[in-house]
Amino acid sequence: MLPFTRLFLDLDQSNRTSEKVAAIEQYFRHASPADAAHALYFLSGNRFKRVLKTKVMVQTALLITKTPEWLLDECYEAVGDLSETVALLLPGGETPTDTPLHTIVDRWIRPLLHAEDAAASDQLALAWSKLGRDQRFVFNKLLRGNFRVGVNRRLVQRALAAVADIDPAVMAHRLSGKVEPTEAAYLRIMSGGTSEDDFSRPYPFCLANQLNDPPQSLGDIADWQIEYKWDGIRAQILRRAAPHPDGRVTTHLWSRGDELITDQFPELALAAASLPPGTVLDGEVLAWRHTSPGAPDGRALSFNALQTRLNRKNVQPSLFDADGIVFIAFDILEHEARDIRDQPLSARRLVLEQLHRRHLASAEVIKLAPILTPRSWPDAGALRTTARTDRNAEGLMLKHRQSAYHVGRGVIRARESASADNPSPPKSAGGWWKWKIDPFSVDAVLIYAQPGSGKRAGLFTDYTFGIWDGEALTPFAKAYSGLDNDEIKRVDALIRVNTTGRMGPVRVVRPALVFEIGFETIRASPRHRSGIAVRFPRILRWREDKKPADADTLDSVRALLARHTD
């Protein structure tokens, strides 16, 4: 486990992409296939379904170190990470044994996760005694299911492609599906040529950058294909024939989160059976009301309407009797078993339209994404403003007509350069941009705060906000982002002087600070004390100009909910 621990520390301590890729490449060149399989599993963001109970780790550490619980709590607040806190408190560890990573997982971690508390405590103490301090840190994070390191999947793809000496696009394709921590799976991923299971994997998704500048900065609107940005599940439909000699034709539906969701949407799989083999479509899965005033083709419902489908092994017909499910197809990546992602978007769109006319014209559940035709950027802005009310969309997508289907959020820079005649050339001659509607927002009061972790350890950065319900503040949303470093430090200082109580690591804060909280959707929720749940809450700004009494009320938020309920 020493090499994997060194890799974790190298990745955690470096901010340079080249250094991270080099460290990953170095590790996989020398790791055994069994160790590499587990390392790839964890670096890809996977974790085991079970995790070690926090109380087992804490109580075992207290027993070994003879540390008072209050002191461990203080250390935890200063360090910000329980796994690291425990690793630092444990004695010894100067002469660790170099047990292979896969052995530690199979002999120590998996049994620990399934053991009763008393047995788990004994096994945990034995494991700690054989590991070095840094190894214990990584070991603890694997046990607790919060192993995270500053590296994204694209860097792992680049490094593995170099090790396997294959095209990075092929490696990205192989890693798009679920990564299994087995030696056989790893060897298939690293094999040369075409892997037998490549046919069932999706392509890496092309992602859009957020448009923060005026759209005029993109140049002539005629160069851009404009669509609605939907609030659903980004997915690819794959209709392919297995390699010879099998030859069977199968349908797979993959989400952008690398989840195989075919069984959760059986009506989409049934409709996709009419597609010719060698077809891959990109689009959005939406809950859909097929008849809607002002929308002859129907209207999308909010993401909340999809919740009954997600993570279900068996989908019952009653779950989708009232409203339907559709797949809005907006791109084609593979046609007649050929990868056409390098073709311009305008050419791919023509292929998609022809395919839809020939094979999907009667399939109500697979629709063609409509292209909007504003004549100017102000006209496009008007469509964006009404996207939520007219179509229940999040805004607009702007896609350059010459853009290839790139991996991730890549952007093709303009070929032209600045000159006296053109001092500000368009910043992009390709790529995709999302031009989202301004989020919903309310003014709320900070009522609870909790220390952050990692680089934010020791600072209060996790906040709970409340809105007025009569004379009392009721919790409304939690937010962790939106403030810059200077604001975080100022808020932290004010939290400390306004603390009125503690609940473990959580501080109860006297009502004093008001923030504007933004969010994407709003829905009723009996699980929340306020009766309301919001999606993607974040801090938009610190309202230093407002007093707590000026914050929004539960009645005003309920009125917002009523105006935007499907």
Q: What is the pLDDT of residues 52-67, one digit of tens each?
A: 999 999 999 999 999 9
One DSSP character per residue, 35-55 reads: HHHHHHHHHTT---SS---HH
What value does the mean pLDDT take over residues 517-543?
A: 89
Per DSSP, the three-state class of 435 is strand
| Chain centroid to CA 132 | 33
Q: Is the pLDDT of residue 240 over 50?
A: yes
Asked whether the CA dihedral 262, 265, 270, 272 is positive or negative, the reply is: negative
Angle between helices 17-30 and 153-164 in degrees, nearest 10: 50
Position 282 in a domain: yes
Which H or E element spans position 174?
Answer: helix 168-174
Position 160 in a domain: no
User: Do 399 and 502 belong together in one domain?
Assistant: no
Which residue, of 144, 160, 195, is where some domain finishes? Answer: 144
Instruction: Return the higher-pLDDT residue of 121 and 416.
Output: 121
Which residue, of 144, 169, 197, is where some domain finishes? Answer: 144
Residue 547, token pair as written in the block: 């007093």
User: Do 497 and 399 belong together in one domain?
Assistant: no
**What confidence tier does 270 reach under pLDDT thresholds 50, 70, 90?**
very high
Which of 28-37, 91-100, 207-216 bottoms out in mean pLDDT, i.e. has the lowest? 91-100
User: Do 367 and 451 belong together in one domain?
Assistant: no
The answer to whether 387 and 228 have CB atoms below 8 angstroms apart is yes
**What confidence tier does 415 reach under pLDDT thresholds 50, 70, 90?**
very low
Q: What is the CATH number of the domain that holds 45?
A: 1.10.3260.10
User: Do 302 and 425 belong together in one domain?
Assistant: yes
Position 178 in a domain: no
Position 180 in a domain: no
CA dist., res. 173 & res. 169, Å (int): 6
**What confidence tier does 301 reach under pLDDT thresholds 50, 70, 90?**
confident
User: Do 295 and 396 belong together in one domain?
Assistant: yes
**What is the predicted pLDDT for the residue at 321?**
45
Q: Rounded mean pLDDT of the chain?
A: 86
Q: Is the pLDDT of residue 323 over 60?
A: yes
- Specify whether the backbone of 93 is left (phi greater than 0), alpha (psi in -120 to 50) or beta: left
Alpha-helix runs per DSSP H in 326-469: 345-355, 377-391
**What confidence tier does 222 reach under pLDDT thresholds 50, 70, 90?**
very high
Instruction: Return the higher-pLDDT residue of 66 and 303.
Output: 66
What value does the mean pLDDT take over residues 382-397?
A: 90
User: Do 387 and 278 belong together in one domain?
Assistant: yes
User: Do 452 and 493 belong together in one domain?
Assistant: yes
Amino acid in the structure at residue 550: D
User: Do 451 and 490 belong together in one domain?
Assistant: yes
Backbone angles phi, psi at 102, to 5 degrees: -65, -30
Q: Is the pLDDT of residue 122 over 80?
A: yes
Q: What is the pLDDT of residues 438-471, one digit of tens each?
A: 888 999 999 999 988 766 777 899 999 999 999 9
**Which of 104-118, 313-327, 342-356, 359-373 has the highest average model confidence (pLDDT)?**
342-356
Which residue, of 109, 144, 179, is where some domain finishes? Answer: 144
Position 155 in a domain: no
Position 406 in a domain: yes
What value does the mean pLDDT take over residues 72-76?
A: 84
**What confidence tier does 416 reach under pLDDT thresholds 50, 70, 90?**
very low
User: Do 432 and 461 belong together in one domain?
Assistant: no
User: Do 424 and 478 belong together in one domain?
Assistant: no
Backbone angles phi, psi at 359, to 5 degrees: -120, -15
**What is the predicted pLDDT for the residue at 420?**
41
Q: Is the pLDDT of residue 258 over 80?
A: no
User: Do 406 and 334 belong together in one domain?
Assistant: yes
Interstrand relation of 432-436 and 209-210 (parallel, antiparallel or unpaired): parallel
Percent of the chain at pLDDT > 90 equals: 52
User: Do 414 and 466 belong together in one domain?
Assistant: no
**What is the predicted pLDDT for the residue at 451?**
86
Position 477 in a domain: yes
**What is the predicted pLDDT for the residue at 177?**
64
Which domain, by its residues, includes 57? Answer: 2-144
Amino acid in the structure at residue 254: W
Instruction: Return the higher-pLDDT residue of 453 and 203.
Output: 203
Position 285 in a domain: yes
Number of domains in the chain: 3
Q: Is the pLDDT of residue 401 over 50?
A: yes
DSSP 277: S
